[in-house]
A and B are shown apart, each in its own frame.
Chain A
Amino acid sequence: MDLALFFQLVVNGLMSGGIYALIASGFTLILGVIQVFNFAQGQFYMLGAYVTFGVVTSLGLPYPVGVLAALAAMFLLGVLFHFVIVQWTLPHGFFHTMLVTVAFSTMVGQASFLTFAADQGLVDPVIPGTFNVRGITLNNGKLLVIGGAIVVMVALYYFMRTKIGTAMLAAAENKEVAQLQGINAKRIFWVTMAVGSGLCGVAGSLIVPVLSATNSMGMNAFIRSMLVVLIGGTGSMSGALLAAFLVGIVESFAFQYVGQLSLVAIFAFAAVLLFFRPGGLLGKPLPIPGQ
């Protein structure tokens, strides 16, 4: 294989890996803290992409404003989703809560299909052109996505070390004991939901200058994020990060050689990893219901 193609495939893989990492860490956070299997995660990603597209293309505002708008909009939608729907089903158990997120995801998917069906949601490249090193040509836009994803992950890392982030981890560990320490579990729940959705919104706005926003992007990314969570170990944030980049790169190479069967290839990859590392790639995971 020639070197240029190799590096392009690696960059493609890292780019989608960064996106999967953001979606999967939001998912893991919500699963660990509120114990909600949030199925709507992919749709938040899709909506984030459309919000950025709308702000940048229709309103003509600069791209960073679009990213912030997507973050704010998905943050608010996450809060609304929690207060209007999710909190009422929490007492009925894991499966009921999961099912309302499924129904919500279908609802959002169809509503956005009716609203944006005709729109080709591609934002103009933020940094146009390419990046050349020794004859290897890389797309600037794709490198920007990788950089953006890393910045958001670092921000998340520091957020989890603030007072509210620590409270989240405490609530994930044991809700009752956390409440005894004076942590307001109700507030932690909606903040977690909002942060998880906001991460997806940012992921969507990062990808939209490179890949156009479509209706199916939410579900497709969600399935791959599930694989990431599966490989990284359910509940482990750092494991999810590593797994996301692995899945992204494997998928990128598999797509080059077997085309549409790349999903099967990453599935086989996940099965092999799961066989040798049953507890996830690294670290101690957050406690998850029903293990």
Chain B
Amino acid sequence: MSRAAIIGTAALVAIVIVLPWLINPYVLQVLILTVSYSMLGLAFAFTLRVGLPRFDVAAWWGVGAYTTAMLMLKGGISFWLTLPIGGAIAIMLGWVIFKIVIPRGMMVFLLAGMVLTMATQQIFASLPFFGGWSGTGVIPLPKLGPITFADKKAVYFLGLVILAVNLLVYRAFSTSRIGRAWTAIGSSLGLASSIGVDVVRYRMANVLIGNFFIAVAGSYLVASTLVAIPTMFTFTNSINVMMYVIVGGIAHSLAGPIIGALVVTFIPEYLRMAKEYEPVVTSAAIILIIIFIPRGILGLTIPAFIQRRLEAARIRRKD
């Protein structure tokens, strides 16, 4: 790393750590939500590498959240144990569903994801076991030694730790052998399968790893809201995740979703004066961003000559 990069990283870390003391509690709450959204965005970008856009994000997010809430309420299990349990349940259910869906190709995966999101929300809302539309009861505060997570600052830092774990794991995967196979599938499906990459199995592995982290993000969300309600896991959530990835920069699978989630979540906050016209203005802003900055916000930071070389490489790959 160059000296400028080290100084830049140090400054960024310092800002992220000091931030909770500088902003008011409401903004901190939105920021915590954004951390959870970032994890969803990372998972979306991760699966996009194998050429699959996932719109089932809110479904697994809800599975994680409901697992944590139900286990803590009915079983009295510690919050920390529910994180991996939620992830494991998301993997098992996902395996059964994706066994049918993944071999049918990208478009079926996309449509099935949308339907899955709607169906999951409907299941949580209709079954009395999950508490119906009013949601589960309020869960006890998670504890870690002397820290109880009553203070939102503690929840924020917990989120940063989980986010860091997410980033490290995704990074480790991207440079590994399996990561190279994923990239091969993403850039050319036919070519990858012709050199002996088992597309369905590799895609399945990728999607299930994503499932695990999405469910963990859901459990983390419950640590902040202390309750799981069906209306938290909507179709709109699933769609917004794609927005984070593209607005942040579709070529940047690690930093892009985080930046995108920040921008997309905070645009509406700054448009509060537009009152009920806020969603109209926000959507118009998103449309303008996509038309005029197709490479996303991080795409703006790359110098033009590197961008030209990347573009040339992309065109070569397509041929």
Contacts and interface: CB of A to CB of B under 8 A. Distances in A.
B283 interface: yes
A275 B250 contact: no
A102 B280 CA distance: 12
Nearest to A285: B107
Interface stretch (A107-115, A167-175, A182-190, A195-203): A107-115
Across the A-B interface, give the 5 residue pairs with the lowest CB-CB distance, nearest first.
A107-B283, A110-B279, A290-B106, A103-B283, A92-B294
B290 interface: yes
Interface in A251-291: 259-261, 263-264, 267, 270-271, 274-275, 278, 288-291
B111 A234 contact: yes
A92 B293 CA distance: 10
A110 B107 CA distance: 28
Contact of B114 (A88, A226, A259): A226
Given A107-B280, A223-B118, A264-B123, A95 B111 contact: no
A260 B125 contact: yes
A278 B107 CA distance: 12
Interface residues of B, number: 44
A160 interface: no
B119 A103 contact: no
Contact of B283 (A106, A263, A274): A106
15 contacts: A95-B242, A95-B250, A96-B246, A99-B243, A104-B283, A107-B283, A111-B280, A223-B118, A234-B107, A260-B122, A264-B123, A264-B126, A290-B51, A290-B106, A291-B105
Contact of B276 (A114, A230, A275): A114
Chain B contact residues, majority secondary structure:
helix
B129 interface: no
A227 interface: yes
Interface of B: 48, 51, 53, 97, 100-101, 103-108, 110-112, 114-116, 118-119, 122-123, 125-126, 189, 235-236, 239, 242-243, 246, 250, 276-277, 279-280, 282-284, 286-287, 290-291, 294
Contacts of A223: 114-115, 118, 235
Contacts of B291: 85, 88-89, 100
Contact of A102 (B110, B112, B243): B243
